[in-house]
Structure 1
Amino acid sequence: MSTHAYEQLLRLAFPTEADAARFLTEPNRTAYTAFERAPAPDIAFRFERVRLGVAMSLLKLLADLGDHDESRQVAEVLLKALNAKSVADIDATITRDAKLFEKLYTNLYVNEDGEQLLNLFERTLDADTRPLMDEVLREALALAGELDFSQNDDEDDED
């Protein structure tokens, strides 16, 4: 279930061909499978890749939901971190762009859906076990399927 849920969340967050080509590389799409099959010394790194994939998906959904540029910028940092070769490289990538994470909540107006996405994002970053990550993943998948992106279309029509 978890591998399928992870891949389904990625597809929901990155539905266009352009997004899929950029964000859904084979290693990113199969991060959960790699985590499940990882030898003991590699588990921490593989878990971090799953966490990054879920977090990136949530921020992409938030960016699309509210046309929020800061969310897009943080999603880009998470994409860079997904390409890292070790946990230390992931940490270095995140640390290098820490100011973007701080800006994420500045002047942020979100509706209830946006608040739920941010809550799941925070829980993703806090999840330190597979059961916790799987719970966040299940909730994220359920929420992603219920989001209404048509609000942005209405606002665009008014311009």
Structure 2
Amino acid sequence: MPATTFQQLLDAAFRQDGPTYLLPDDLKAYQTLHRSAPAEQGFRFERVRLLVAMSLMKALADLGDHEESRQVMEVLHKALGARSTQQIDSIITKDAHRFERLYTDLYVNEEGSLLLNLFERTLDADSIPAMDQVMEEALDLVSELDFNHQAEEDEDEDE
């Protein structure tokens, strides 16, 4: 079930943009985590964490056309290409200022606040069961979001 939840979360968050951001191996990251040798599980867990965090940032960016969320998502996407947890840490550390700016002058509605809370919980998750819980809640939330609402508001302003 969690593997299905993971896949559904990626599909719901990235919708038509999936091919731009996600490789076939990314879509199988959760299954790979469970099949990996103990020595590789830390790295595989970090890949799942990055993908869940990217999903939440993608949803936040699409929900409110939020540039800082897009920038954080790009850092996470870049880190997804790393070959070790040390490389992931290095990439994230190099662009830490983008994470700090995420919360600066940010107006969010209730859904945005919930996405940011789940993002923080993703970063704090230190076990597969904790990540599974975040994924479930993230899928429920992302599936309920109305991404067309912002596009409709933008169209109304242009008229």
The normalised TM-score by structure 1 is: 0.96
Match of 1:80 in 2: 78
Equivalent-residue separation in structure 1 for 2:95 and 2:18 (angstroms) = 23
Correspondence 1:5-20 to 2 at 5 A: 5-16=5-16, 19-20=17-18
TM-superposed deviation, 1:2:
0.9
- SS of residue in 2 equivalent to 1:106: coil
Q: Tell me the equivalent position of 1:26.
A: 24
Instruction: Report how far residue 145 of structure 1 moved.
Output: 0.8
User: Once superposed, which parts of structure 1, at least 4 consecutive aligned residues long, lie more than 4 Å away?
Assistant: none
How far apart, CA to CA, are the structure 1 residues paired with 2:120 and 2:128? 16
Cα-to-partner distance string for 1:6-35 (whole Å, 9 max, x where unaligned)? 11111111111xx22221101211110110
Would you say 1:57 and 2:55 are equivalent positions?
A: yes
Which residue does the alignment assign to 1:141? 139
* Corresponding residue for residue 4 of structure 1: 4
Q: Pick the aligned partner of 2:95 from 69, 94, 97.
A: 97
The equivalent of 1:116 in structure 2 is 114
Find the residue that maps to 2:104 and give its secondary structure: coil
Shift of 1:97: 0.5
Q: What runs of 5+ residues in structure 2 fail to find an aligned partner?
A: none
Q: Which residue of 147, 151, 154 maps to 1:153?
A: 151
Letter in 2 for 1:62: L
Q: Aligned partner of 1:12: which letter?
A: A
> RMSD between aligned alpha carbons?
0.8
- Identity of paired residues, percent? 57
CA distance in 2, matches of 1:30, 1:149: 26
- TM-score, with structure 2 as normaliser: 0.96
Give the length in aligned residue pairs. Answer: 157
The structure 2 residue matched to 1:131, chosen from 129, 132, 153, is 129
Output one character per residue of 1:63-86: Cα deviation in whole Å (capped at 9) or x when no partner. Answer: 000000000010011011111000
Q: Which amino acid aligns with 1:78?
A: L
Matched position secondary structure for 1:108? coil
Look up the equivalent residue of 1:140 and give its one-letter code: A
